């Protein structure tokens, strides 16, 4: 590469070359979304209320299973509530928290891996290492072949389809999986699981 003559450069370019290059930092993380705490707390209260109403399950089965959609309650409610209504209510209740956990996975990745946060949060080394190992898998340059990236993403999408819990949705957010694909897989998997539990209940308690 030919060396540029300082005489051919503008004064601003000469000053820019003379200054030391600063380390490129990740952009500062966004402020913590406090509304997520309120929504998750509300969902937790709903679950506790549903569990408290279990003694009245025979009288209000849809209310109980709608507030606390436990796997063992769904088969019991299969022969007490209209199938389409039970499927819609339980599936919707189970899917309410999924987008929140996905969003928190995206948020905490930026928060913990932020270079500025590293200076203030020395006690998060273990969490940061875990997040860094997950984030590395979504970047092709950290993998030996694209097949590894496809395998990891395929396993993550499969986990969302089969078991879309808070931890799985957080991991999906950390890996920055496609939102529409994650949403579609979560809906399909949840509806299929609820339908299977209803079928079991209809067969056992008919």
What is each CA distance from 160 to 18, 163, 166, 167, 174, in whole angstroms? 51, 5, 10, 10, 13
Report, in angstroms and rounded to the nearest whole number, the Rg of the chain calculated over CA atoms: 25
pLDDT at 128: 57
Q: Are 101 and 166 in contact (CB under 8 A)?
A: yes
| Residue carrying structure tokens 């022969």 | 79
Q: Are 194 and 169 in contact (CB under 8 A)?
A: no
Which residue, among 172, 146, 178, 176, has the nearest Cα to 160 in the 3D structure? 172
Q: Are 57 and 73 in contact (CB under 8 A)?
A: yes
pLDDT in single tens digits along all 206 residues of the chain:
454 555 554 554 544 454 444 444 455 556 777 888 899 999 999 999 999 999 999 999 999 999 999 999 999 999 899 999 999 999 999 999 999 999 988 887 766 655 444 544 454 555 556 556 665 555 544 555 666 677 878 888 999 999 888 889 988 888 888 999 999 999 999 999 999 999 999 888 76
The model's pTM: 0.71
Enumerate the domain spans of the chain.
34-96, 98-194
d(CA 160, CA 168): 6
pLDDT at 63: 95
């Amino acid at each position: 590469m030919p060396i540029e003559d300082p005489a051919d450069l503008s004064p601003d370019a000469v000053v820019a070359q003379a200054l030391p290059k600063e380390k490129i930092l990740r952009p500062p993380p966004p402020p913590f979304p406090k509304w997520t705490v309120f929504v998750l707390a509300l969902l937790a209260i709903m679950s506790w209320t549903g569990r408290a109403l279990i003694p009245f399950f025979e009288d209000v089965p849809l209310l109980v299973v709608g507030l606390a959609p436990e796997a063992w309650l769904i088969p019991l409610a299969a022969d007490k509530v209209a199938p389409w209504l039970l499927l819609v209510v339980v599936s919707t209740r189970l899917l309410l928290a999924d987008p929140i956990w996905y969003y928190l996975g995206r948020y905490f990745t930026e928060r913990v891996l932020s270079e500025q946060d590293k200076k203030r949060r020395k006690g998060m080394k273990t969490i940061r290492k875990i997040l860094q190992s997950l984030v590395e898998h979504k970047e092709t340059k950290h993998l030996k072949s694209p097949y590894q990236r496809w395998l990891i993403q395929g396993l993550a999408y499969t986990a969302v389809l089969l078991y879309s819990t808070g931890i799985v949705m957080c991991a999906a957010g950390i890996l920055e999986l496609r939102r529409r694909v994650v949403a579609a897989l979560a809906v399909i998997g949840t509806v299929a699981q609820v339908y299977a539990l209803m079928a079991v209940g209809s067969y056992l308690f008919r």
